[in-house]
Amino acid sequence: MSFVTPQFISQIPSVDRNVADAQPYGVVQVDDQGVIKLYNKWESELAGVPISTAEGSNFFTQVAACTNNRLVYGKFKDGVARNDLDTEFNYTFTYKMNPTNVRIRMLRHAPSGSNWVFVNRRDA
């Protein structure tokens, strides 16, 4: 079972900063190229990247450069190209932080054409 609830997924078309900040995990909305449109407080605190720095930057190459690989960015690009992305997996963030074990869910909400990266810390 995913840490991102079906209830939250159903709200995606109307998710704003307040809704995103209320979640107990990272919520990052990115465009088809990976540029961050929305970066919530939880993710900002985990990564140590201010929201003002993250938004407008590329998630995969500038904010979380350790995800610029086939496992993460490759899955993202493939899913966007197919207009079908919903994958969840364990990962370890290493960029600008101590190695941090996380669970990542990437989702494309096809009706709205929006892309989402959700991040939850997992026990080592």
Q: Which CATH number is 56's domain given?
A: 3.30.450.20
Mean pLDDT confidence for 48-71: 96
Q: Is residue 5 part of a domain?
A: no
Residue 2 covered by a domain: no
Supply the pLDDT for residue 63: 95
Range of the domain at 50: 24-121
Residue 15, in any domain of the structure: no
Read off the pTM: 0.94
Report if residue 7 sits inside a domain.
Answer: no
pLDDT in tens, 16-43: 999 999 999 999 999 999 999 999 999 9
User: Does any domain span residue 105?
Assistant: yes
At 67-97, the pLDDT tens digits run 999 999 999 999 999 999 999 999 998 866 6
8 A C-beta contact, residue 90 and residue 101: yes
Considering its fold, how many domains does the chain have in total?
1
Residue 49 domain-assigned (yes or no)? yes
Is residue 16 in some structural domain?
no
Residue 124: its pLDDT value, please? 45
- Summarize the confidence of residues 4-9 as an average pLDDT: 94
Q: What is the mean pLDDT of residues 103-113?
A: 95
Instruction: Tell whether 36 is covered by a domain.
Output: yes
Q: Residue by residue, what is the 3-state secondary structure of the chain?
A: CCCCCHHHHHHHHHCCHHHHHCCCCEEEEECCCCEEEEECHHHHHHHCCCHHHHCCCEHHHHHCHHHCCHHHHHHHHHHHHHCCCEEEEEEEECCCCCCEEEEEEEEEECCCCEEEEEEEECCC
